Amino acid sequence: MTLEQKRWNEKYSRRGPTLFPPEDFLVRRQHLLRAGTVLDVACGDGRHALYLARKGFAVTGIDFSANGLRLELFAAHEGVHVNTCQRDLDAEGILTDLGAFDNIVVIHFKPQLHTFEEMCRILRPNGFRFMARTAASRTDSNVDHLHRLFHCVGRPLRLLRYNCSVR
Ligand SMILES: C[S@@+](CC[C@H](N)C(=O)[O-])C[C@H]1O[C@@H](n2cnc3c(N)ncnc32)[C@H](O)[C@@H]1O
């Protein structure tokens, strides 16, 4: 187990019995998602995965934290289903056996370039990718990161909307 994985496991084990609410920026833009399947990358304890499952999407959540994946308990409690997958997203080829998705959601997680490329390969044609994170305490900005990601893939990607709020 890596130190980072241990840190996240400890963090989730200290969390209380209720989930944080989904981020408002996803709730307000969920209409942009295509009907069908969603891969929630670095889903944590599943506040977005569960929110989208409740809305009728077939959701798979992937994260390296076993404690984060307690989302299975929340899902069972609510009577909704979310597939979960415990994997290290920094490893090469980690998404290839998951099949294709209509939507990929990445919230508060900065993927490695090779993981981003894999996401491009498993996103269905006309699929939708929703990415959001905060730049606080990071050395590079979201724009720089997005710029690098968009230039590393050999497939055209369209940036539909970019929101940036600086406090
Ligand atoms: C800031 S949390 C975001 C969780 C969730 N997306 C949300 O917005 O509530 C970052 C998540 O990334 C996961 N994570 C960090 N590095 C990872 C890695 N290399 N592989 C898989 N998951 C990772 C952590 O376990 C944690 O759940």
Q: Which domains does the chain have, with CATH numbers?
A: 3-9+35-151 (3.40.50.150)
Q: Which atom of ligand 1 is nearest to the CA of 105?
A: 6
Nearest CA to ligand 1 atom 3: 108
Tell me, what's the pLDDT at 43?
97
Token digits of residue 167: 């406090």
Is the pLDDT at 162 greater than 80? The verdict is no
Residue/partner pairs of 3-8 with CB below 8 Å, 24 or more apart: 5/64, 5/65, 5/88, 8/44, 8/63, 8/64, 8/65, 8/67, 8/68
pLDDT cut 70: percent of the chain above it: 79
pLDDT digits 0-9 by tens, 105-161: 999 998 998 998 899 899 998 888 887 765 554 545 666 666 667 666 666 666 666
Q: How far is the CA of 4 from the centre of ligand 1 (A)?
A: 10
Residues with C-beta less than 6 Å from any ligand 1 atom = 4, 8, 42-44, 47, 63-65, 68, 88-90, 107-109
Q: How far is the CA of 64 from the centre of ligand 1 (A)?
A: 7
Mutation choice for ligand 1 from 4, 6, 8, 130, CB with most ligand atoms inside 8 A: 8
Higher-confidence residue of 66 and 129: namely: 66
Tell me, what's the pLDDT at 23?
93
Tell me, what's the pLDDT at 129?
81
Mutation choice for ligand 1 from 2, 18, 39, 65, CB with most ligand atoms inside 8 A: 65
Mutation choice for ligand 1 from 109, 133, 138, CB with most ligand atoms inside 8 A: 109
Tell me, what's the pLDDT at 163?
63
Give me the amino acid identity at 153. V
Mean pLDDT computed over 9-19? 91
Q: Which atom of ligand 1 is nearest to the CA of 65?
A: 25
Give me the amino acid identity at 147. H
Sheet arrangement for strand 101-107: 82-86, 58-63, 37-41, 101-107, 123-132
